[in-house]
């Protein structure tokens, strides 16, 4: 699990181009095949996973690469996908073609009101799932993890984490 967090921090520091408080440095190396998580915000997804192989490893690598190039983020108080986010999701959908790999999409919203944050987070997750479905990914392959304000606050709540499902 610690290795997964180190890889996530490294992936985030290398790819997002913005300051997100992750520190941006790491002295540990990733295990072969990746960590099983990918994060635009530097926060680990629900669980780490050992080395992956096959289709799951390929999809995980594609997710990491796509998010490094262009993280899926939202504007404050909005659930609309930007054109860049749509392109990133299209890349992820292409990687999911021809296999049965499932992914988890974790979204957040930084409202102080927990119910308002949960509602916006759910709308964001649905927007991502719909965009992936537009590109041929069946809805049952995308687990929505709308956390509201439970796991991220402020600017961190604008970022989305996408990972191969456990």
Q: What is the pLDDT of residues 83-119, one digit of tens each?
A: 999 999 999 999 999 999 999 999 999 888 999 999 9
Rg (CA), the chain: 15
* 154 band by pLDDT with thresholds 50, 70 and 90: confident
Residue of 114 and 13 predicted with greater confidence: 114
Q: DSSP 3-state helix, strand, coil percentages of the chain (rounded to 5)?
A: 45, 10, 45
C-alpha closest to that of 10 among 31, 26, 32, 21: 26
Question: Residue ranges per domain, the chain?
Answer: 2-164
The pLDDT of residue 162 is: 94
pLDDT in tens, 25-75: 333 333 333 333 333 433 333 334 444 568 899 999 999 999 999 999 999
Q: What is the pTM of this model?
A: 0.69
How far is residue 84's CA from residue 29's CA, in Å, rounded to a whole number? 30
CATH of 2-164, one of 3.40.630.30, 3.40.50.10260, 3.20.20.100, 3.30.1330.60: 3.30.1330.60
Q: Is 119 exposed, middle or buried (0-12, 13-18, 19+ CB in 10 A)?
A: middle
Q: Is 96 exposed, middle or buried (0-12, 13-18, 19+ CB in 10 A)?
A: buried
């Amino acid at each position: 699990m610690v290795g997964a967090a180190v890889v996530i921090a490294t992936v985030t520091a290398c790819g997002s181009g913005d300051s997100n408080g992750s520190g941006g440095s790491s002295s540990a190396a990733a295990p072969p095949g990746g960590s099983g998580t990918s994060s635009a915000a530097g926060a680990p997804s629900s669980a780490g996973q050992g080395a992956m192989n096959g289709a799951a490893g390929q999809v995980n690598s594609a997710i990491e690469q796509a998010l490094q190039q262009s993280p899926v983020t939202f504007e404050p108080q909005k659930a609309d996908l930007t054109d860049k986010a749509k392109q990133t999701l299209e890349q992820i959908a292409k990687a999911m073609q021809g296999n049965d790999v499932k992914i988890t999409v974790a979204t957040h919203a930084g409202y102080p009101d927990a119910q308002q944050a949960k509602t916006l987070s759910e709308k964001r997750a649905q927007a991502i799932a719909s965009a992936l479905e537009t590109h041929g990914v069946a809805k049952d392959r995308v687990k929505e993890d709308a956390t509201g304000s439970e796991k991220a606050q402020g600017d961190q709540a604008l970022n989305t984490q996408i990972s191969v499902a456990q």
